[in-house]
Amino acid sequence: MHDQLDNHYFERYKRHILIKNIGGRGQKKLVQAKVLLVGLGGIGSTVLQHLAAAGIGKIGLVDQDTVALSNLQRQTIYTFEDIGRKKVRVASNFVKNLNKNVNISEYDFFLNANNSTSVIREYDIVLDGTDNVESRELINQHCVKLGKPLIFGGVSGWEGLVSLLVYKNSACFSCIFTNSEKIPVFFDCSSEGVLGVTTSLVGTLMVAETIKLICNTGQLLTNKLLICDALSGVTEILNVQKNEQCNVCQPNK
C-alpha cells in the first residue's frame, strides 16, 4: 500500500481510475494484489512490464536462467549488456526503475515438486509463461491443490493461446491439453520458432485477464481458449470443458 501514500499516486494511475469498471476501487485492488510470474522469457517480459506499470502490489519472479543473445529477439526487458546476468536480478531492477512501489520477490530457481507449494501459496494469482510441458503440468497441479487461479499463455510462430484455468471449478491445464496434439507445438519455441511480437501479444492478453480477474469485471476466459493468429489477424475463442475424469482436478471421481 506504499503507493497510496505517494504524492504521485493519482497522477500515475489516473488513466486507470477514469475507466468506469476499474476506478479508484479497482486500482486499490490492483495495488493490494499479489501475482506470481513463472518464466521470464518472451511472454514473461511483456507480462512483467504491464503488471508493474499497472501497480500490482507484489510480484514474484521465478526463473533460474541467465540472459542469452538469442533471448533479445523477443525478451524485451533485457539488453545486450545483460547477457550472462541472472534474469530474476535484471527483471527485478527493471521493475524498480519503472515503479518503485511494487514489491518484488526473486526466486532464482525452477519450480519443482518440493518448492512449488510454498512459493505459490503466497500469491493470489499465478501467471504461467514457461516453455515446456513438464513445468506447465507441475504449476497446474499445485494451483489445483491450493485453489489458485492460473492464467496460461503459449506461443508458436505467429500463433498464441491464452486461458484462465483453475478458477471457480473451471477446467485445469490437464483437462484441456493432456491429450492435445498441439502440446509439442506450443511449448517448444526452440525448435518451432516464435515471432517476438506473438509473445508480446500473448503477454498483453494475459495481463488484461489478470486485471479483469482482480477487478472482478468483464468476461473471463474460464472454460475458454483464446487463439490469436498474428499472420492472418484472426482471433477466435473456443469453448472448452472441464474433464470430469481428469486425474489432476478430479482425482476422486
Q: What is the DSSP string of the chain?
A: -GGGGSTTHHHHHHHHHTSTTTHHHHHHHHHH-EEEEE--SHHHHHHHHHHHHHT-SEEEEE---B--GGGGGT-TT--GGGTTSBHHHHHHHHHHHH-TTSEEEEE-S---TTTHHHHHTT-SEEEE---SHHHHHHHHHHHHHHT--EEEEEEEBTEEEEEEESSTT---HHHHHTT-TTHHHHT-HHHH-B-HHHHHHHHHHHHHHHHHHHHT-S---BTEEEEEETTTTEEEEEE----TT-TTT-TT-
Segment 140-183, tens digit of pLDDT: 999 999 999 999 999 989 999 999 999 999 999 999 887 665 55
- Residue ranges of the domains in the chain? 2-239
- Quick: pLDDT tens for 4-52: 456 789 999 999 999 999 999 999 999 999 999 999 999 999 999 999 9
pLDDT band at residue 251 using 50, 70 and 90 as cut-offs: confident
What is the architecture, at CATH level 2, of domain 2-239? 3-Layer(aba) Sandwich (3.40)
